Amino acid sequence: MHLSHSSIEQAITEELDVERHRCGKVLTCRDVVAEELPVALVFNGISHAVMMATPQDLEAFAEGFALSEGIVARRQEIHDMEINWLEEGVEVQLTVAQPAFLRLKERRRTLAGRTGCGVCGTESLSLLDLHPEPVRAGALATVDETLIRRILGALPQHQPLMHATGCAHGAAWCDANGEVVRVFEDIGRHNAFDKLIGWMARQNVDAASGLVFLTSRASYELVRKAARMGIPQLATISAPTALAIRIAHEAGMQLFSFCRSDGFVAY
């Protein structure tokens, strides 16, 4: 897979002079803020989506998006990729197999990328694809407080962008013992998850062999992505929506939310 020189990633943070107001005092200091850029995903020369994202791990992001959105059924259908840094943002050019491209043209949509975008630009309700196929059972026989506590304890050391800016979601792959293997960060929770999905595909990770942990709420699109990728066990720090719970139930997934060091809720 060819990558242009633009695969060298742009800075993902910026330092600014700020006034920090606290307890009636004003302190002038430097602060680190997260970068946010439009990333256009172009398939066989046709722009499909523009997402606001953190400009790092873009190869994994593009692959994960293509897989989790059902544009390609497997990563082997992505034949080539080129990342171009432009004045107004980033353009990721993907060349996909002709059958995949024909399927995409049949249900083409344009996403006006906002940080929390889930269905922006979908042309009709019938295109939402809310009914997943069943996923196979996961390797974790039980998810208990000890395992969740182990994950939560290890996550911060894998989240440098969050530590620096307070402005990033994390998506983590954890093995059956609760060890955090890999974490991807992004200003968008679904972007972070797509980056993780892309990495998992590249590494041939068995999605049923561990647990995905997201530092966000469990919205419908995250659970739908997980079901599409055959991920049977998903945990999130914040609350799920009712639709997310219904999708997880239909797919036969285990969904754990409100994950804290002292417990969680299983749906």
Q: For residue 244, what are its two tokens?
A: 């997310």
CA Rg value for the chain: 19
Contact present, 12 and 54 (Cβ < 8 Å): yes
Q: For residue 58, what are its two tokens?
A: 């873009």
* Distance from C-alpha of 181 to C-alpha of 172, rounded to nearest angstrom: 7
Contact present, 113 and 50 (Cβ < 8 Å): yes
Pairing of strands 111-112, 180-186: unpaired
* Distance from C-alpha of 264 to C-alpha of 267, rounded to nearest angstrom: 10
Contact present, 127 and 119 (Cβ < 8 Å): no
Pairing of strands 37-43, 89-96: parallel
Taking the alpha carbons of 63, 66, 68, 70 in that order, is the dihedral positive or negative?
negative
Catalytic residue among 29, 117, 167, 174: 117
Helix or strand run (H / E) with residue 126: none
Query: Looking up tokens 């972007």, which residue turns up?
Result: 191
Contact present, 175 and 154 (Cβ < 8 Å): no
Residues pairing with 230 in the sheet = none
Instruction: Let me know if 29 is a catalytic residue.
Output: no
Q: Which residues are catalytic?
A: 117
